[in-house]
Amino acid sequence: MAEALGVVASGITVVELAGKVWSVCWQYYADVKNAKSEMKCLMDNIMALQIVFQHIQDLAKGPGATRLAASKPYLESISLELEKEFNRMLEVLQARLIREAKKNWLGRSLNWPFQKQEMEQFCHSLERHKTALTLAMNSDQITAVIQIDNRSLQQVTSLSKLPFAEGAAHTHRLWEHEDHCLQDTRVALRQQILDWSDNPESECIFWLSGIAGTGKSTISRTVATELASKKRLAASFFFSRGRGDISHAGKLITTIAAQLAHSLPILRSSISDAINKNLDIFQQGLRQQWKHLILDPLRNAPAQSIQLVVVIDALDECDSMNDIQLILQLFAEAKDLQTIRLRIFVTSRPETPILLGFRKLPDGVYQNFILHEIPLCIVNDDISTFFQQKLAQVKKEHKLKTPWPDEQTIQLLVGKAAGLFIYAATTYRFIQEEPYDPEEQLSIILRENTCSQSLSRGLDEMYLNLLQHSVIGKRNPIDCEQLVARFKEIVGSIVIMSDIMPVQNLAELLQIPTNRASGTLASLCSVLNIPENESQPIRLFHPLFRDFLLDSQRCVDLRFHINANECHIQLFRKCMCLISKLHENICNLPELGVLVTDISGDVIQQYIPLHIQYACRYWLGHFQQGNPRKEDIRTIRRFLEEHLLHWLEVLSLIREVSNGILMVIALEEILSGKLGVDPELSELVYDAKRFILHNRTIIDIAPLQIYYSTLLFAPKASLVHKRYFKKAPWIDIKVKITSNWSSLIQMLEGHTAGVSSVVYSPDGKLVASTSHDKTIRLWDTLSGKACGVLEGHTHWVKSVVFSPDGKLVTSASSDGIVRLWDTLSGKACRVLEGHINLVNSVVFSSDGKLVASASDDMIIRLWDILSGKVYRILEDHTNLVKSVVFYGKPIAFASDDKTIRLWDTLPGKACGVLKGYTSQANSVVFSPNRKLVAFASDNKTIRTLSGKAYGVFEGYIHWVNSVVFSPDGKLIAFASSDKTVRLWDTLSGKAYGVLEGYTSQVNSVVFSPDGKLVASTSFDNTVRLWDTLSGKAYRVLEGYTNSINSVVFLPDGKVYGVLEGHTGPVKSVVFSPDGKLVASTSNDKTIRLWDILSGKDTLSGKVYGVLKGHTCWVNSVVFSPDGKLVASASDDKTIRLWDILSGKACGVLEGHTHWVKSVVFSPDGKLVASASYDNTVRLWDTLLRKVCGVLEGHTDWVNSVVFSPDGKLVASASLDNTVRLWDTLLGKACGVLEGHTHWVNSVVFSPDGKLVASASGDKTVRLWNTTSQTIVDIIHTEGVITVMKCSNDGLSIYTDRGIIQLKSQIRGTHIPERAKFSSLHVTDQWLKWNMKNLLWLPYDYRPYSCAMNGSLLVMGSTSGRVTFISIEPAALPPIYLQPSLTGEDSLQRYGKASDEC
């Protein structure tokens, strides 16, 4: 705004002066005889310039002021110039006027005081300024329009990403030919619904319930159409069982959001922003989608006096009862919306889960109207009106004689309908069906027996009658048999299929000619909706027809009865036949690492048509519901051995991996219950399950990596690996991979900070985890899918537990608050406040009525969950209370006062104190039989309630954070800071297994309800699931026992092997100048020297020497140029010099006051430079062992230091975002290189010393001229670079993220072409070639550090593994040899429009 005011002020002065000059010129123009043309030119240019200035001022005062990017600087630059020129001109003109006025008595005319040439120059200058300002202003206006268009385009792009359920909207062509209420039917009910929708005080939900066939969907379509005509419809979603996206709630919220953005444009920006801020919103649960995409945009919208309605039809046909109840709870939240009011119209059958769902809602949230309780006489009047109007149309179209039908016939039809509109609609369709005679069709209906009192009897007879007439008719018995067989095959499939599809896809699925399918269905238009457009799916008009065909008691003509079991197994075989034709890279994708999000839906639809998708999604369901034979079991085995990966690829492409996981788990359960199943098949299914669970992340995002990454890193003994692995010609990988699947089943990633606690729900279907990211996350234990994020705490969440019935979750946080959450809706239903310090632990009582919380305020509080009030306060501990557990009526608490106290919850008094512990108790738990209390502590004991020691479990090298008994009490699990979970046998006291794999301390551990799984959490941000059945501890981590921070190449570029021996993280590795020795440093406080056997490409493994002396972690090590000394830097604040031959310390360099992070020798070996967290660089004399310079100037920790090639300069990199240059002779700063916006991690000189390269956390490498101290080039990187080295020829910079190739040698002060990364490149998750994804790296193999040489890569990971990868460029797919594409080109290559980037 200030800038805009400046523009206005600048313009006002110029405009005012120009006006004065113009006025004076006008005086001259009237009296001056000469120079008329010059004056007119001047006045015209002044006027034109004033108009331009005025226009800019108007823009500057308006809403687009901030977009005057081009006009503003030019206006400011010329304003002073024009102001000076106008003042000079005004002064001359006014002075001449005064002089001439004195001479006026002579009667002379005025003289123009300026020369012609001077005027021409000034006019030309004004014209030039006017033209330039006009162009700048036009540019700003065009830019403003473009920005507006870009914002609109970005919004459209974001909104277009919303998954939209095909067929959900009432206007979709799927419902085009469905009935609406006739004008004179349902009049009172429709008016009641419209009145409700208009009333701002009405309940937020209108529930229209009714039994099948009462016309609910017809009313929904009518209501939606009427609301849309009044611009009051927000969205509509018509559920339909067995019809793809509209059979479940997966796309409900996103579909409503998309329609809402269309209905109310003011919401587009906020919905678009929600999508961009929550990139995984489409994978999140319904409650998160509802909050971010619907509730928040409506809540934050500008005030509007408007009430919109969402129409939800057939909610009972949503395939998940849990989702239905959650949906109702989410809809109820609309009652609190104020700015834009939202109402929801819902129809459903009155099924028990839905009734219970509505009863859970607060009073006043909904009103209910029950269709089948409308008096029968009113319903019959509406049905009579329906028959009269519809049959009158038939009579008119067929030119039938009057009267037809008569009133008596109408009433007979009404009686047969028995209050069911579905009967009336089906009867009408049957009568008017072409090419039959309507009068004959009606007579067939009237001949039905209607004596039955059953509501469905009349409908059954009608269905049977029309089938006998439409399918068989008067054909001969031989033809009848064939027609009935076709009917059962085709219509039977439609009836039991899990999704709908067009006739062509149906024929492909059943492997029959399309014309046979079309011909069979053509005569069934009264019960099947068969669109004229063959690309539209065939569907039942009403599910009652399905119920009729599947029930032999209702379909009494068994020729038409559908045997569901037999039909299911036949469809299973058809599905398997289609799957057997799948192949690798089914969509012909050119890149091995292409992400599924970058592949157009049209491409997927082209290569994976609906019948293939159906086969891959539903084959197991048909197998499960059929009567399989041995040949079907053999078919499954062939599928697993030949097409498992092809199937997974398709599931990845159609976004169905979660369902695939559930299918394999279900298959394992099915086969385990069948006698005579080949054990090898069971093992194969188990291995497939482990394979998919282990690789779920990459299968989800990059389909072709199924054939590369998943197999490369799979255990060698895996049956899937053995069956499918084939060596790719473009890669050679050397890494120690475990032989068998470890106990780790699945890793759940999603938290953004350390995970502190984890717990199973009572039924074992969910896992809840807490984190330092202030959230609780719910996970599906079978598929690993995130089910919800519970947000509300303002600090770390430390503990979480389910209520006994699993309906609630309670959480404890460092914000001092206990929260109760509804697991279905994800809403906080109670906030329990009272503790004055952080809350460590929380637990439900066995009856679920109380919650106990333990806090650092040394108080235990019992809370009544119904009232949310404190029930009891238990005070007696003298230190922090860490853990709490119920034991029936008593409660046990563990405290830092080294006691465990038992309390009776009724009187609130202590009933026992277990003393004698020598260390604080971190966690306490009762055994299932309540005879033991186990607590986690530094003395690792289990004690009985009497206080006597029961057992001591040892083996930890760090403190124990959590302890838990298995459900049967036979095992006990401890979570430790040594990054392990250990299992112990409670009877023998012996170790049962060690579960390893975490890269940080393990905070919490819990058994699943059946005791088969263990879930544990860690500060490495993951939750891991482990298998406990085998009792074996399959090793996941091999080599080092902790993080590897650095790896390097030999001088000749060869990679030799793995160095083992350190007992802590390896921080640095470096080769001696002659390449015969390797020095490594570690957190175990030692430096190890390793001997390399000359002439062999293997590492001897022989320790040449162990250098001991440091008292803390050793961070860095370096050889002297002559290879005789080693210098090491440590967190003990010292640098130590070591003699390589003797292995003894030959000097301790002391002086730093904080950790020393980096050390380096000068080129002549006479000096050592060290970088420290005391913000200094120190120079040391290696002969005198004394400091010879303290280089001060950095204002934060110094990370790295390096000498120039001639030793005259030192460059240092710091957390203060700068690089500093120092003169080694003078010991003074000679330059500060500023420009980085984040910490500078590493710095390196060019071979000639004329350039310095610096790498920073701002993801750039900057090249600096050491003489002028200016930036020569800025290279942007994908990741943060921490290590750099310049090649001897100056053509490359070697980094831990890739090799930066420079287009010209690093010489002089000029680089004519920008630098870029070479072909091989590493990000956190991907190995790339020419910036294209090539190989995905699993969590345990992702680089913590890496080094590369051409196409050779070495990576050290946090898991302790060292991985060696060599790429053969010539063997790569052709696209990898092409230059890197822009995002737009890349997306277009996969058929995705560029506006979706």
Give the pLDDT confidence of 1283-1321 residue by residue, as tens digits. Answer: 777 777 777 787 777 677 775 544 444 443 444 455 677
Tokens of 1183: 């002969």
Residue 555 has pLDDT above 60, yes or no: yes
Q: Is 1344 left (phi over 0), alpha (psi -120 to 50) or beta?
A: alpha
Return the closest-CA partner of residue 1361 out of 1382, 1342, 1335.
1342
- The CA distance from 312 to 219, in Å, is 11
State mean pLDDT over 64-69.
Answer: 52
- Which residues share a beta bridge with 1202? 1211
- Highest mean pLDDT pick, 365-369, 402-406, 1007-1011: 365-369
Tokens of 1130: 């440590």
Amino acid at 695: N
Query: Are the CB atoms for 749 and 1022 separated by under 8 Å?
Result: yes
- The CA distance from 557 to 543, in Å, is 19
Q: Give the pLDDT confidence score for residue 1023 in this predicted structure.
A: 62
Return the closest-CA partner of residue 934 out of 921, 922, 943, 947.
943
How far CA 34 is from CA of 97, 111, 114, in Å, comes to: 16, 7, 11
Gyration radius of the chain over CA positions: 40
Query: Are the CB atoms for 1151 and 1187 separated by under 8 Å?
Result: yes
| Sequence-separated (6 or more) residues with CB below 8 Å from residue 164 | 251, 254, 255, 258
pLDDT tens-digit map of 826-875: 778 888 888 888 887 787 877 788 888 877 777 777 888 788 888 777 66
Q: How many CB atoms lie within 10 A of CB 1314?
A: 10
Residue 1228 has pLDDT above 50, yes or no: yes
Element (H, E) at 23: helix 2-31
Tokens of 50: 């004033």
> How open is the CA angle 1336-1338-1340, to the nearest 5 degrees?
145
Which of the 8 DSSP states describes residue 471?
Answer: I
How far CA 1151 is from CA of 395, 964, 1083, 1176, in Å, comes to: 108, 49, 22, 10
Tokens of 703: 């389909």
pLDDT tens-digit map of 904-956: 444 444 444 444 444 555 555 556 655 555 555 554 444 444 444 444 445 44
Q: What is the DSSP string of 1312-1342?
A: SS--EEEEEEE-SSEEEETTEEEEEPPGGGS
Task: Identify the sign of the CA torsion 63, 65, 66, 69.
Answer: positive
Weakest mean pLDDT among 176-180, 750-754, 1104-1108: 750-754
Token match 């069971």: residue? Answer: 682
Q: How many residues does this entry show for the chain?
A: 1397
Residue 1385 has pLDDT above 80, yes or no: no
Strand order in the sheet with 1271-1276: 1240-1245, 1251-1256, 1260-1265, 1271-1276
Tokens of 510: 């059943």
> In the chain, what percentage of residues exceed pLDDT 70?
74
Segment 1372-1377 long-range contacts (CB within 8 Å, at least 24 positions apart): 1372/730, 1372/1329, 1372/1334, 1373/590, 1373/591, 1373/592, 1374/590, 1375/590, 1375/591, 1375/1332, 1376/591, 1376/1329, 1376/1330, 1376/1332, 1376/1334, 1377/1330
Weakest mean pLDDT among 394-408, 412-426, 692-706, 769-783: 412-426
- Which residues share a beta bridge with 975? 962, 981
Per DSSP, the three-state class of 735 is coil
Residue 569 has pLDDT above 60, yes or no: yes
Q: Is 771 left (phi over 0), alpha (psi -120 to 50) or beta?
A: beta
Full-model pTM: 0.59
> How open is the CA angle 859-865-870, to the nearest 5 degrees?
35
Confidence of residue 33 (pLDDT cuts 50, 70, 90): low
More confident residue, 122 or 1276: 1276
Confidence of residue 61 (pLDDT cuts 50, 70, 90): low
Residue 453 has pLDDT above 80, yes or no: no
Q: Give the pLDDT confidence score for residue 236 in this predicted structure.
A: 95
- The CA distance from 563 to 583, in Å, is 34
| Sequence-separated (6 or more) residues with CB below 8 Å from residue 1331 | 1317, 1321, 1380
Return the closest-CA partner of residue 649 out of 592, 577, 584.
584
Task: Identify the sign of the CA torsion 195, 200, 203, 208.
Answer: positive
State mean pLDDT over 1220-1228.
Answer: 90
Helix axis angle, 644-653 relative to 610-625, nearest 10°? 120
Token match 């790498």: residue? Answer: 1255
Q: Give the pLDDT confidence score for residue 455 in this predicted structure.
A: 44
Residue 740 has pLDDT above 50, yes or no: yes
State mean pLDDT over 435-463.
Answer: 68
Instruction: Report the largest interatomic distance among the alpha carbons of the chain, rounded to a whole angstrom.
Output: 134
Which phi and psi angles does 179 have, rounded to 5°?
-75, 150
Task: Identify the sign of the CA torsion 1335, 1340, 1343, 1349.
Answer: negative
Q: How many CB atoms lie within 10 A of CB 774?
A: 18
Task: Identify the sign of the CA torsion 920, 923, 926, 927.
Answer: negative
State mean pLDDT over 982-1001.
Answer: 69
Weakest mean pLDDT among 404-413, 538-547, 770-779, 1203-1212: 538-547
Per DSSP, the three-state class of 1039 is coil
pLDDT tens-digit map of 1051-1104: 333 333 444 556 666 666 676 777 677 777 777 788 878 775 432 333 333 456
> In the chain, what percentage of residues exceed pLDDT 90?
22
- The CA distance from 1354 to 1359, in Å, is 15
- The CA distance from 489 to 574, in Å, is 12
Q: Are strands 839-844 and 828-833 parallel, antiparallel or unpaired?
A: unpaired
pLDDT tens-digit map of 324-379: 989 999 999 999 888 888 999 999 887 777 888 888 888 889 999 887 777 778 77
Which of the 8 DSSP states describes residue 385?
Answer: H
Q: Give the pLDDT confidence score for residue 894 in this predicted structure.
A: 47
pLDDT, mean over the chain: 77
